[in-house]
Structure 1
Amino acid sequence: MVLVFGVNFAESRLVKSALESFYGVGPQISQRLMARLSIHNTAKLQGLGHRTVNDLSAELQNLTIENNLRRKLQDNIKRLRDMGTYRGRRHAMSLPVRGQRTRTQIATARKLNRVVRRG
């Protein structure tokens, strides 16, 4: 097991997929991190040295990911609701926010918009 940013990963796991498992780290950010640290795209965690793993964790610590990012998104939604903007009202009613069709296709939007929007 390899510990990266406080999470244990199997040694046989690809570095790219391990990075993308963090909330807020997608394909582009993971590729940039790997390029900055000179890690090959098909490298596995077992092939990394301790120093590289520590550098990777340090780089992840500089990013806004996981709980900090979730909190930031919730704060932004709360701010929109408090200001009474159109988008804030749409969030509060669990309706699509970005102009999607609501006449016939609302079920999915109502289901996806239920991200704890109380308050």
Structure 2
Amino acid sequence: MVFLLGNNFHELKLVKKALESFYALGPQTSERILAKYSIHPRAKIGTLPPRTITALTAELSSMKIENEAKKVIQDNIKRLRDMGTYRGRRHAMGLPARGQRTRNQTETAKKLNKVERRG
């Protein structure tokens, strides 16, 4: 098991997939990190030297991921709601906020656009 920023990963897991498992790190960001440290895209976590793992941990700790990224998104939605924009009102009502049709199926949007209603 390899320990990377508070998470344990199996040694046979791809480094790219391990990086993408963090919230707010997608394919492009993980590829950019791999290129920065010259890690092969198909490399496994168990084959990395300890210095590289330490460098990856330092890189990830300087980024806004996991709870910090979720907080930023919630703050952005709260700002939209406070300003009274169309998107903010749609988020508050739990309806689609990005132009999807609401005539037939809105259940998925109602599940995904839930925001706690305070104040």
Q: Under TM normalisation by the shorter chain, which class is it?
A: over 0.9
**Kept in 2: contact 1:96–1:102 (CA 8 A):** yes
State the partner residue of 1:26. 26
- Aligned sequence identity (%): 61
State the partner residue of 1:47. 47
Structure 1 segments of 4 or more deviating over 2 A? none
State the partner residue of 2:74. 74
**Kept in 2: contact 1:91–1:97 (CA 8 A):** yes
Whole-Å Cα distance in 1 between the matches of residues 97 and 116 of structure 2? 13
**Kept in 2: contact 1:22–1:66 (CA 8 A):** yes
Whole-Å Cα distance in 1 between the matches of residues 117 and 70 of structure 2? 15
State the partner residue of 1:88. 88
Cα offset for 1:74? 0.4
Q: Unaligned 5+ residue runs, structure 2?
A: none
Cα offset for 1:62? 1.9
State the partner residue of 2:116. 117
SS of equivalent to 1:33: helix
TM-score (norm 1): 0.94
Alpha-carbon RMSD across the aligned residues, in angstroms, is 1.0
AA matched with 2:117: R
**Kept in 2: contact 1:16–1:30 (CA 8 A):** yes
User: Which deviations, in whole Å up to 9, do the C-alpha atoms of 1:47-79 show, x marking residues without a partner?
Assistant: 101100000111111211110000000011111
Q: Unaligned 5+ residue runs, structure 1?
A: none
Whole-Å Cα distance in 2 between the matches of residues 3 and 74 of structure 1? 29
Cα offset for 1:117? 2.8
TM-score (norm 2): 0.94
Cα offset for 1:45? 0.8
Cα offset for 1:105? 2.0
Cα offset for 1:97? 0.6
Whole-Å Cα distance in 2 between the matches of residues 64 and 16 of structure 1? 18
| 1:105 pairs with 2:105 | yes
